[in-house]
Amino acid sequence: MDFAGNTANSKKSGRSTRNKKQFNRVGHNLQFYKIPPTGEISLQEFEEYAIDRLKVLKAVEVAGIRLMKGSNEYTQKLQDELKKTSLGHDLIRIDKKEDKDFRQKDLVSHFILRLAYCRSEELRRWFMQQELELFRFRFLREGSDSRDEFLRENCLNYEPISDDLKTELDAELRAAAGNKSGVVDTIEYFKVPFTEVFDLVSKRKVYLEDGYAYVSRDDMISIVITHYRSHLSHSLAVTTRALPHLEEDGRLLPMLCGLSKRYLGQDFNAKKSNVGEITADMIEMLSKKSFPLCMQQLHQSLRQNHHLRHGGRQQYGLFLKGIGVSLEEAMRFWRTEFCKAMDVDKFDKQYSYNIRHNYGKEGKRTNYTPYSCMKIITTNPPGPGDFHGCPFKHMEVDMLAQKLRGQHISKDNVEKITKCVKTGHYQIACAQYFEATHNIRNPEDSASININHPNGYFLDSYKLLNGPKEGTKPVPNTPKVIKVKVEGTGTPSSQTNKQSDLNDMDDDDLIASMETDM
């Protein structure tokens, strides 16, 4: 791909897109990403760069989900999460002064995700949040010379106030700094318009006079972040307007649309099931102990109505496949339940194809993987008569609270869960549900629970209750008690993108989804 927007010309001239990374020079480890890259890159690299940066932003999100930003625990967690990703590992290294490849990858990957995340208000908000936090973290890790150099390069060279003025304002500056003796004497202060440091003003951490704020050198990050925020917000709006031109290139748009709901963890393919085979007879018992709420809801509805509509059959069927239910056992399970309300012939004619299809035995013979939380939350919301989806996202809050109380979850926990739901943190609500139903009280164990996949929830629960099955491979990176995959609440929870949803489906899926639901 040509970042200079000259794809058509390069195609006409027959130039190869490989080995032609002549990007613009990046002079500092940190960037405001003001100038788009102008080199060339292959489509494969385009996707690799995007995924690498997405992993970094997800790591930033995961660290900030349950820990207070700025605390030592948060800093440590963010550092650990970033080190798990190849790009993140490089981004937080400060000894890469002359590493041009790394800087270019930083630049290009940022611009690719800018394209992917400019499509809706919620996507933009998520992208900005993570990018700003990443920038803050990186800025604070730089040495003071490097920070000054960055400020100079970006025309943010504020003059410190004179010693006389500092002495005159001594009492006020001390009060704003929380009376930290000695600090005010040694630190430089800058006089800036108060509109540049809204966050310090809102936290009452700065002295204000005549529309100006007196900001200590330690708090300069607030000014830098304000500038970066305003630049990024404007740039995202500009990118959105340019997006329709990309539609001319049929290769990029589907890839960009898919990025925002891409799941980057384990795919929970049945072949990799870590708990051994699950038979049809075990499902009822497991549903009570180890299924996440979304799958409990589908299971109960199936038992009650002896039927599930297409969306529910897909979500639940693939989940069961992922926990280790074989095709034969799945067929036995669905047939037993459906045939309480219809004859075997009808089941075989109308429903068995779909089950075999999910196991890759029909149609294109694709080995389908279970849906991640992100996919369940962001696509295909349930309509009347449907039971699929995520209850934390799709159920009325009052109904949800009633359901939780019905499961004997304490009043405090119900309040905690519904509070998360109201603020749009559905996966955190699910993690709190996990804690409440598994009696987890240790804060260290709580912090390690991140729910990203219903099958991950099952696996964590199963292992917690039963211990890993002998002879099965443990999943890597298992924290102290719970094993988790990394993907945050991520993206904008209320987004529904039919087009992207269709992009995820192959022809057989589409045909299957058009089946008459009876």
Stretch that binds ligand SF4, among 30-38, 58-66, 290-298, 495-503 (CB under 6 A): 290-298
Helices (H) and strands (E) in the chain, counts: 28, 3
* Run of H or E including 450: none
Q: What is the rounded CA–CA span in Å between residue 351 and residue 213?
A: 68
Is residue 451 involved in binding ligand SF4 (CB under 6 A)?
A: yes
What is the 3 state secondary structure string of 331-389?
HHHHHHHHCCCCCHHHHHHHCHHHHHHHCCCCCCCCCCCCCCHHHHHHCCCCCCCCCCC
For residue 37 the two structure tokens come to 């890259």
What would the x/- binding string for ligand SF4 be over residues 372 to 391, using CB under 6 A?
A: -x--x-------------xx
Give the binding-site size for ligand SF4 (rule: CB under 6 A): 14
Stretch that binds ligand SF4, among 12-20, 45-53, 215-223, 422-430 (CB under 6 A): 422-430
Among 130, 427, 437, 493, binds ligand SF4 (CB under 6 A): 427
For residue 429 the two structure tokens come to 């609500």
Phi and psi at residue 267, to the nearest 5°: -90, -5
- Is 294 assigned to a binding site? yes
Residue closer to ligand SF4, measured from CB, 223 or 417:
417
CB of 505 to ligand SF4, least distance (A): 19
Let me know if 246 is exposed, middle or buried by CB neighbors in 10 A (0-12, 13-18, 19+).
Answer: middle
* Run of H or E including 207: strand 207-209
Is residue 495 involved in binding ligand SF4 (CB under 6 A)?
A: no
What would the x/- binding string for ligand SF4 be over residues 456 to 475, using CB under 6 A?
A: -x------------------
Stretch that binds ligand SF4, among 76-84, 99-107, 355-363, 426-434 (CB under 6 A): 426-434
Under 8 Å CB-to-CB from 304, ≥6 apart: which residues? none
Residue closer to ligand SF4, measured from CB, 324 or 488:
488
CB of 283 to ligand SF4, least distance (A): 16
Residue closer to ligand SF4, measured from CB, 240 or 372:
372
Q: What is the rounded CA–CA span in Å between residue 426 and residue 5?
A: 39
Among 147, 140, 124, which residue's Cα sits nearest to residue 69? 140
CB of 376 to ligand SF4, least distance (A): 4
Q: Tell me the C-alpha to C-alpha distance, in Å, between residue 178 and each of 91, 173, 202, 206, 481.
A: 33, 9, 15, 10, 40
Residue closer to ligand SF4, measured from CB, 207 or 433:
433
Is residue 392 involved in binding ligand SF4 (CB under 6 A)?
A: yes
Is residue 395 involved in binding ligand SF4 (CB under 6 A)?
A: no
Among 150, 190, 426, 462, binds ligand SF4 (CB under 6 A): 426
- Is 155 assigned to a binding site? no
The three-class DSSP label of residue 191 is strand
Is residue 292 involved in binding ligand SF4 (CB under 6 A)?
A: yes
CB of 313 to ligand SF4, least distance (A): 16
Is residue 37 involved in binding ligand SF4 (CB under 6 A)?
A: no
For residue 465 the two structure tokens come to 């209750």
Is residue 41 involved in binding ligand SF4 (CB under 6 A)?
A: no
Under 8 Å CB-to-CB from 197, ≥6 apart: which residues? 206, 213, 215, 219, 222, 223, 226
Cα 284 to chain centroid distance, Å, stands at 32
Is residue 62 involved in binding ligand SF4 (CB under 6 A)?
A: no
Q: What is the rounded CA–CA span in Å between residue 116 and residue 364?
A: 29
CB of 293 to ligand SF4, least distance (A): 4
Residue closer to ligand SF4, measured from CB, 322 or 454:
454
Check if the beta carbon of residue 41 is closer than 8 Å to that of residue 49: yes
CB of 409 to ligand SF4, least distance (A): 14
Residue closer to ligand SF4, measured from CB, 430 or 475:
430
What would the x/- binding string for ligand SF4 be over residues 233 to 272, using CB under 6 A?
A: ----------------------------------------
Cα 321 to chain centroid distance, Å, stands at 25
Q: Is 380 left (phi over 0), alpha (psi -120 to 50) or beta?
A: left
Q: Which residues are annotated as a binding site for [4Fe-4S] cluster?
A: 294, 373, 390, 430
In the complex, which residues of this chain contact ligand SF4 (CB under 6 A)? 292-294, 373, 376, 390-392, 426-427, 430, 451, 454, 457
Q: Which residues are annotated as a binding site?
A: 294, 373, 390, 430
